[in-house]
Amino acid sequence: MTATNTRRPGRGWLLRLVLTFSFAQGAVSMARPAVSYRALALGADERAVGVITAVYALLPLLVAVPLGRRTDQGRCAPLLVAGVALISGGCALSGLAGSLPAMAAWSGVMGLGHLCFVIGAQSIVARRSAPEDRDRNFGHFTIGASLGQLIGPVAAGLVISEHDGRMAPTSATALLVSGAVAAVSYASLWRLEQRARTVPSGAPAPAAGPPVPVRGILRTRGVPSGIFMSLAVLSATDVLTAYLPVIGEDRAIAPTTIGLLLSLRAAATIACRLVMTPMIRWLGRTALMAASCASAGVLCGGLVLPVPVWALAAMLLALGFCLGVGQPLSMTTVVQAAPERARSTALALRLTGNRLGQVAAPAGAGLLAGVAGTAAPFALLGGLLVASAVMAARTGRGRGGGTAGRGSSWFSRRRPRRRIRRCRHHTRPPRPERRCSGATGRGPCRCAPCRRGP
């Protein structure tokens, strides 16, 4: 008896993967603001902070597609082990670095480790999830990222202190602690992937054949919009994490408060992903993606306003809820649109888009911040999010709503009814799928209108 169509596999692997992702993402989320604060302590300005933030994504940008090809042809678990090692080492060595170039280099190592981990983890979810469970499983998987983003900035804010010139040593301590947190991920890296690749109930058998060209994957309907949405959402999250401390410095907001604000955004993202399945049933996937990205764009642009801390907290709460939709639904969109034998490569292309956004957005944010002030990057991110909403809506129209079998979309268009000519032998018009039956129901009608068809 084969493993296919026997019984639905358990979800213990998903729980362990979420726990592992929580520790790994928590370490990265703790290290990112710590890197910004340490760079400021070493004499960096807004442009230098943007460059260091961009280096985090530069090396992963070059190796994402080869790693995806390798994962399509083999196992995913080794990438998790290598990713945790690189994250832990990059965080710890960033804390020991004493110059801005060294910090940028170790920040790139940390980004490479995060890329390896995410490619392996997303490929495991795609392989072990039935088609009807992908929205839910990807949503639960990204809860691990949100948990890390919730705890990491708070921990960084509690460790880092700007009083009495202690920002440099305390930011280094935060980076060393984040390296230790990443190493804890090894505790749940067991039996996440079966050696014998099985097909879950309801999923099609894997197709064999030559590798699908990258150009062919990118031309598949749904893949470009999923990649661009993920790019916009992650760029917003990344620049928000890196530049909210800079805004806090300008507005005299303490690092502890900045950490709490970032964690509030992450908590709202967790709440969004917990209720995402009912929202998909209510609105449809396309409408939910478009509405959430458009709302996030408006809120992200509103962060430039000189509002009090409580209003900033309310805006970040709403922004976090809206940003919680883009990542899991973009994963599902890309996985369902891509060919079976190229799903890991498609996910790697999505991550390449993410890293491209993480390279271009912080660098552009640094240039804008140097010219127009620290509020300008958030206006740029608002425009990106609104553009991704428009692209998702247009793709949904072309695909008939893009709801993937759950709920109806506001953007789905009803197929117009064909005009049917009445037959003089009958009192009712013939059905378009069966044409017209005879007067006694024993054969097709032979009149001229029925022979011509509707």
pLDDT in tens, 408-431: 344 444 444 444 444 545 545 444
**Low-confidence winner among 26-30, 239-243, 266-270, 306-310 (lowest mean pLDDT):** 239-243
E strand or H helix that includes residue 48 = helix 46-73
DSSP letter assigned to residue 431: B
Condensed to tens digits (0 to 9), the pLDDT of residues 171-200 reads 888 899 999 999 988 887 776 766 544 445
Q: Give the number of residues written for the chain.
A: 454
What's the rounded mean pLDDT across residues 253-282? 83
SS3 (DSSP) at 192: coil
Q: Which residues contact 96 (CB under 8 A, 6 or more apart)?
A: 172, 176
**Low-confidence winner among 64-73, 359-368, 397-406 (lowest mean pLDDT):** 397-406
Is the pLDDT at 270 greater than 60? The verdict is yes
Q: Which residue has the tokens 């260091």?
A: 52
pLDDT at 86: 92
Sign of CA dihedral 65, 68, 74, 77: positive
For the whole model, what pTM was predicted? Answer: 0.68
CA 196 to chain CA mean position, Å: 28
Residue among 22, 145, 123 nearest 72 (CA): 123
Contact call for residues 87 and 182 (beta carbons, < 8 A) = yes
pLDDT at 434: 43
SS3 (DSSP) at 449: helix
In the chain, domain spans: 12-193+220-398, 422-454
pLDDT at 421: 45
Domain range 12-193+220-398, CATH architecture: Up-down Bundle (1.20)
Contact call for residues 236 and 301 (beta carbons, < 8 A) = no
Top-confidence residue, 74 or 397: 74
Question: Residue 234 — pLDDT band, cuts 50, 70, 90?
Answer: confident
Cα 428 to Cα 421: distance, rounded to the nearest angstrom: 10
In this structure, what are the phi and psi dihedrals at residue 153, rounded to the nearest 5 degrees?
-65, -35
Is the pLDDT at 112 greater than 80? The verdict is yes
What's the rounded mean pLDDT across residues 238-263? 79
Question: Residue 164 — pLDDT band, cuts 50, 70, 90?
Answer: low
Contact call for residues 181 and 23 (beta carbons, < 8 A) = yes
Start-to-end C-alpha separation, the chain: 50
One-letter identity of residue 352: T
Contact call for residues 117 and 83 (beta carbons, < 8 A) = yes
Contact call for residues 241 and 156 (beta carbons, < 8 A) = no
Question: Residue 230 — pLDDT band, cuts 50, 70, 90?
Answer: confident
Cα 284 to Cα 141: distance, rounded to the nearest angstrom: 20
What's the rounded mean pLDDT across residues 100-112? 88
Q: Across all residues in the chain, what is the average pLDDT?
A: 75
Is the pLDDT at 295 greater than 70? The verdict is yes
Is the pLDDT at 206 greater than 60? The verdict is no
Residue among 118, 90, 102, 121 nearest 27 (CA): 90
Give percent of the chain with pLDDT exceeding 90: 4
Cα 213 to Cα 346: distance, rounded to the nearest angstrom: 10
Contact call for residues 141 and 33 (beta carbons, < 8 A) = no
Sign of CA dihedral 95, 97, 100, 103: negative
SS3 (DSSP) at 365: helix
Which two structure tokens, joined as six digits, stand for 319?
Answer: 């922004």
pLDDT at 435: 45
Is the pLDDT at 96 greater than 50? The verdict is yes
pLDDT at 85: 92
Number of neighbours of residue 381 by Cβ within 10 angstroms: 28
Cα 409 to Cα 248: distance, rounded to the nearest angstrom: 40
Is the pLDDT at 250 greater than 70? The verdict is yes
What's the rounded mean pLDDT across residues 239-260? 79
